[in-house]
């Protein structure tokens, strides 16, 4: 029985050591990740974080759901813009844009916009049947929004939570100020 107790205590000790090492490794990883995020443009990072917290957070702080909401709003705005660019040629308001409708609109546009509208129509017309359906238009607008915002930018916004120095689930302006003082 005593040998079993010693084995149990040894296991607890080594588990505690392993946890401490893992926590230290995690802290080191987070610190390195935060320094990478700051990169060579810390002022840009501070601006992005401040804009996120003030624009989409509450009470000087933002959490993961707040960041996801911010990303969704930004993607929605971009999606609406891309949708609108092609939808302006939906002359009969049936939700689809035909090659004929594009041809009708073209003379009213500048040379640059004419070429752009034709390119957008061809790109959005997935099945190349000459008609961009509502579903194709939505898919096109979503793909363009994600492309415009960039996957790397979306991930950078999600990494704002790395400034949550006290690990309470909130990235705050105070933590950002503290980080500014640490980094210099």
Calculate the alpha carbon distances from 84 to 78, 91, 114 in Å.
10, 13, 15
Is 0.85 topped by the overall pTM?
A: no
Q: Which helix (H) or strand (E) holds 25?
A: helix 2-38
Q: Each residue of 129-159: pLDDT tens digit?
A: 999 999 999 999 999 999 999 988 999 899 8
Mean predicted confidence (pLDDT) in 120-137 = 96
Does residue 79 register a pLDDT over 70?
A: yes
**Highest-confidence segment of 15-24, 60-69, 149-158:** 60-69
Taking residues 16-29, what's their average pLDDT? 43
| Interval 33-60 mean pLDDT | 82
Quote the pLDDT of residue 22.
40
Residues 6 or more apart in contact with residue 100 via CB below 8 angstroms? 130
């Amino acid at each position: 029985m005593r040998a079993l107790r010693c084995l149990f205590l040894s296991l607890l000790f080594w588990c505690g050591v392993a946890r401490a090492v893992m926590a230290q490794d995690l802290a080191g990883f987070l610190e390195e990740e935060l320094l990478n995020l700051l990169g060579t443009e810390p002022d840009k990072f501070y601006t992005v974080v401040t804009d996120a917290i003030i624009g989409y957070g509450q009470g000087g702080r933002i959490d993961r759901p707040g960041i996801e909401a911010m990303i969704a709003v930004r993607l929605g705005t971009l999606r609406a813009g891309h949708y609108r660019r092609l939808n302006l040629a939906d002359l009969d308001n049936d939700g689809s844009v035909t090659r004929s409708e594009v041809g009708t609109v073209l003379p009213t546009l500048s040379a640059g916009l004419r070429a752009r509208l034709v390119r957008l129509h061809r790109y959005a017309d997935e099945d190349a049947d000459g008609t961009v359906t509502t579903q194709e238009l939505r898919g096109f607008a979503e793909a363009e929004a994600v492309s415009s915002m960039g996957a790397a930018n979306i991930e950078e916004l999600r990494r704002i939570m790395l400034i949550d120095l006290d690990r309470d689930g909130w990235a705050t302006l105070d933590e950002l100020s503290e980080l500014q003082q640490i980094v210099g």
